[in-house]
A and B are shown apart, each in its own frame.
Chain A
């Protein structure tokens, strides 16, 4: 088991770099695209709303693998046209195709998360800003967006993990991420332990990410913790009120 690690460990680590790269780039692109789209999605204009709705529904309602095949293999059907447009270099490369697909997919999910966040912004606070005469830009910058991202933060973290894991299918179109290297090593050695090492790598990455994300969340929601500390109750009082609460229930 450890012999395998000595022989193939560096390859698996190369794969981890590839996995992280794919995830980070596609999730970042999606992060940039999703906010304006989420705001447009909330507009009452049907011309904006419906195309975005359709886009979200499609990317959330179909398997990522099918989307990847559609982009990577599907583009082959239009090779002459794409060559003419000077885009063929992009679509012939599995790496770019994976990035494009993952970014489009993640945009759909992040957009939906942000839409929920925008919806949950307490309206009274926005109104208070309006009453102060804040212009729209400032309202978004100072009130709406900070709220939105605070609300959406945990869900966005989940989405990034899903992307990280979902990204493993890039190995199917020959990319050598963790999964890609793992499959290759297995086909050479038929040693099952390579899967366990791969599992370990994924678990380490996700665990570290979860911890980092939680730390960030703690920072973002500082104001909520602070409030709790202000209410100082003497220990005796605290236990007796707790007692009564458990009695009445």
Chain B
């Protein structure tokens, strides 16, 4: 890959390693997401795909590797105790604010209403004007079909509704890249579609997205690129047609046949 495309990539990760308690979960994973890419990461549970995603916005700190966001290199230095300098911490916070993250378990703030959940990030992190933010937040909630519930609290919503709010919350930061960590895995089957619909719309409007998912059909439909992770390594990677129709690796073939 040319250096130019690396420096222009929306998100670039190289050779990420991560271990938990002596077990190596990521054994050197690299990925480049150009602007408008929709990349799906698939793989069986335990393959490290969630860890990989979480490493990219540093919710997990990779043991080794490089990460660049819009060509800006992240300083991954930390002392032996896991402490980081103030400068490093500030860079991480700034980078995180331009990577939107949607969690499997929603993680809405339970003490705040739907609207407050969406507004908190822009108000507190970006220090934007409250009234402006509210207008934008309402528009976003309207987009995900949650405007009429904007004064309710998360506990009174269904899983699908919670996830749609969580997506609106991530969008409110106006992120360059959206990261989805199995956004539909915790949902009842009948609620999956309402969430996928929202994600599909985002993909179609040209958002850069990276998602870990178990929804194979959905991944095939919306992705520009699919990555198959197996035991902490990328085993196969390419266009959806290539991976789903002509899987070359034996593991992927077995994995796909177990999915349908």
Contacts and interface: CB of A to CB of B under 8 A. Distances in A.
16 contacts: A239-B21, A239-B23, A240-B23, A240-B46, A243-B20, A243-B25, A243-B46, A244-B46, A246-B20, A247-B25, A247-B54, A248-B50, A248-B105, A248-B182, A248-B185, A249-B105
Contacts of B21: 239
B237 interface: no
Interface in A190-249: 239-240, 243-244, 246-249
A161 B105 CA distance: 41
Interface in B20-59: 20-21, 23, 25, 45-46, 48, 50-51, 54
Nearest to B18: A247
A64 B141 CA distance: 56
Interface of B: 20-21, 23, 25, 45-46, 48, 50-51, 54, 104-105, 181-182, 185
A249 to B, nearest CB: 7
Contacts of B48: 247
Interface residues of A, number: 8
Contacts of B181: 248
A243 B25 CA distance: 8
Contacts of A240: 23, 46
Contacts of B25: 243, 247
Nearest to A249: B105
Nearest to B20: A243
Nearest to A246: B20
Contacts of A247: 25, 46, 48, 50-51, 54
A240 to B, nearest CB: 5
A248 B50 CA distance: 6
A210 B16 CA distance: 49
B45 A244 contact: yes
A249 B107 CA distance: 10
Nearest to A240: B46
A243 B45 CA distance: 10
Contacts of B54: 247
B107 to A, nearest CB: 9
Q: Nearest 5 CB-CB pairs, A to B? A: A247-B50, A244-B46, A247-B51, A244-B45, A248-B50
Contacts of A239: 21, 23
